[in-house]
């Protein structure tokens, strides 16, 4: 399988603070990959490095065959990367509908209204809240809105930064189920950052484990889950 996204020995730093050291990873086209690790391991920074969000990087980052490191964030996302950031990136003062339209801002085709219905099909609660200010939504609803906004751009790759953060367990399961459907039915590649290792391991086909800015293990979820140190550190067993 060819890689849609590829990081090759990527270092990343904020100002003088080095966060990533030599991170290499790949997301196959149509694949679903998880990036696991403790707080401060560099998971969010990895996603921010991919989109070049106020972080300096060295090493090659390739998307769909072309180098994207060193380019502007807005140029990178226009190539087909949907980034659901840490904190969800909701436009609080705008309505739910406006948030969704912003997701599709770069598109000029006629499928936008249809796509809004499609994402509202995944998350029916949004359909009833279209005219509401996004800032008044609950945390779970805002997470759904953030994912939906990214989907509205019809990206080839979805980057998700801890979609389970702060949500009730049932809601997390529902969101993860929908992510699986999106990955399977729309052939959308997904790179998922999670602290909730157990959930992520059930969902993806490949896992990278990050520790203090380095990839310390990688492989299929069964293999990672079987690793004794991983079980101790992340699964509480």
Q: Which is nearer to other proteins, 159 or 209 (CB)?
A: 159
C-alpha 235/C-alpha 168 separation (Å) is 19
Enumerate the H helices of 58-162 as residue ranges.
73-78, 96-103, 112-122, 124-127, 139-151
Strand pairing report for 214-219 and 189-194: unpaired
Which region, judged by CB under 8 A, interacts with other proteins, from 16-24, 82-90, 199-207, 223-231? 82-90
Listed residue (176, 192, 180, 217) closest to 225, CA to CA: 217
What is residue 15's DSSP assignment?
A: T
| Least distance between other proteins and beta carbon 222 (Å) | 34
105 binds other proteins (CB under 8 A): yes
Binding-site size for other proteins (CB under 8 A) equals 24
Q: Which is nearer to other proteins, 136 or 212 (CB)?
A: 136
Listed residue (94, 35, 80) closest to 234, CA to CA: 35
Task: With beta carbons less than 8 A apart as the criterion, state whether 8 and 55 touch.
Answer: no
Binding track, positions 48-77, relative to other proteins; x by CB under 8 A: ---x-xx-----------------xxx--x
Among 153, 160, 179, 197, binds other proteins (CB under 8 A): 153
| Least distance between other proteins and beta carbon 105 (Å) | 6
Task: With beta carbons less than 8 A apart as the criterion, state whether 33 and 207 touch.
Answer: yes
Task: With beta carbons less than 8 A apart as the criterion, state whether 28 and 18 touch.
Answer: no
Which region, judged by CB under 8 A, interacts with other proteins, from 2-10, 91-99, 197-205, 214-222? 91-99
Q: Which is nearer to other proteins, 189 or 206 (CB)?
A: 189
91 binds other proteins (CB under 8 A): yes
Among 78, 177, 187, 232, binds other proteins (CB under 8 A): 78
Binding track, positions 178-217, relative to other proteins; x by CB under 8 A: ----------------------------------------
Q: How many CB atoms lie within 10 A of CB 36?
A: 26
Listed residue (163, 133, 134) closest to 147, CA to CA: 163
Binding interface with other proteins (CB under 8 A): 51, 53-54, 72-74, 77-78, 83, 85, 89-94, 98, 101-103, 105-106, 149, 153
């Amino acid at each position: 399988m060819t890689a849609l996204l590829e990081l090759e020995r990527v270092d990343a730093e904020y100002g003088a603070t080095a966060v990533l050291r030599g991170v290499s990873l790949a997301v196959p086209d149509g694949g679903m990959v998880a990036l696991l690790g403790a707080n401060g391991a560099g998971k969010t920074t990895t996603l921010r490095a991919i989109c070049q969000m106020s972080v300096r990087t060295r090493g090659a980052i390739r998307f769909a065959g072309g180098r994207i490191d060193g380019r502007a964030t807005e140029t990178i996302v226009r190539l087909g990367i949907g980034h659901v950031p840490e904190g969800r990136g909701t436009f609080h003062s705008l309505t739910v509908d406006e948030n969704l339209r912003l997701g599709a801002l770069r598109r000029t085709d006629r499928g936008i209204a249809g796509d809004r219905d499609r994402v509202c099909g995944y998350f029916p609660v949004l359909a009833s809240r279209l005219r509401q200010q996004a800032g008044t939504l609950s945390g779970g609803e805002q997470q759904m809105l953030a994912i939906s906004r990214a989907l509205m751009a019809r990206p080839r790759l979805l980057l998700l930064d801890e979609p389970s953060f702060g949500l009730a367990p049932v809601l997390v399961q529902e969101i993860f189920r929908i992510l699986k459907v999106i990955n399977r039915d729309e052939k959308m590649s997904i790179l998922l950052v999670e602290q909730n290792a157990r959930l992520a391991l059930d969902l993806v086909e490949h896992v990278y484990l990050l520790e203090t800015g380095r990839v310390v293990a990688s492989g299929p979820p069964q293999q990672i889950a079987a690793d004794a140190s991983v079980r101790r550190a992340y699964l509480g067993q």
